[in-house]
Amino acid sequence: MNDDSVIKSVIKVLLVDDHPVVREGLRGMLTAEPGLEVVGEAGGAAEAVAAVGLHEPDVVLMDLRMPGGDGVEATARVLARRPATRVVVLTTYETDADILRAVEAGAAGYLLKDATRQDLAQAVRAAARGETVLAPSVAAKLVSRMRAPVDLSPREIEVLALVARGHTNAEIGRELFISEATVKTHLLRAFGKLGVGDRTAAVTVAMERGILAPPDRR
């Protein structure tokens, strides 16, 4: 018997999306599944955090792009308030930067909105069991990203090292005797090679890959 057919208890689900029609569709899909109960909805980040405190859901299906704070920010806030809740991002976006930000925020999964009802229900049950759930295309991107070599230039590494030390672009330019515009160019090239979209993620990934040494915690 498939594990997904064994329902030990009702799994409480919270839907977070700024489009009511999307929430309505998700509610209809999940309500039709045995052992799943939609206990609440939220249309934004702040509302999601409040709803988690009110309903104590097992799983949150979280949209990525919303007004008043995106899904990544909301994920971090939800988990800070209730660590036992599992957050699964459900979005139309699957860029490397979006995926990385969601995972770093603590998301237990990353699904796309073209998922079937069966796939969505299985993902909710798997997340509730403590498993990581990824859309096939997202999983492929992560595997490819981890396998792909990253060849940063010595200057790009120098710039990232100074970013890791908390320097601004202007300070980095003065330190390396280059213009601030050139600093930005090096950063953008490094972002592209690392598959990220911001300074913090670039430093994090560079440390994970061994390109930068971890901070001295003495």
SS (H, E, C) 60-72: EEECCCCCCCCHH
Question: Can you give the pLDDT at residue 66?
Answer: 86
Q: What kind and span of H or E run contains 108?
A: none
> Are 61 and 15 in contact, with CB atoms under 8 Å apart?
yes
Strand partners of residue 90? 111
36 vs 130, residue with greater confidence: 36
Strands 109-112 and 59-62: unpaired
Q: Please report the pLDDT score of residue 60 as a whole number.
A: 97
- The DSSP code sequence of 131-164 is --EE-HHHHHHHHHHHHS-----HHHHHHHHHHH
The domains found in the chain, sorted by start residue, are 11-145 (3.40.50.2300), 154-209 (1.10.10.10)
Q: Please state, as a whole number, how many other Cβ atoms lie within 10 Å of the Cβ of residue 8.
A: 8
Q: What is the pLDDT of residues 86-130, one digit of tens each?
A: 999 999 988 877 887 888 888 888 999 999 999 999 999 999 988
Average pLDDT, the chain: 87
Instruction: Tell me how many degrees the CA angle 120-121-127 measures, rounded to the nearest 5.
Output: 90
Average pLDDT over residues 186-211: 86
> Which has the minimum average pLDDT: 51-60, 151-160, 162-171, 191-200?
191-200
Contact 23, 17 (CB under 8 A): yes
Query: Is the pLDDT score of 6 beyond 50?
Result: no
Predicted pLDDT at 62? 96
Question: Of the segments 7-11, 48-52, 178-182, 210-214, which one has the largest average pLDDT value?
Answer: 48-52
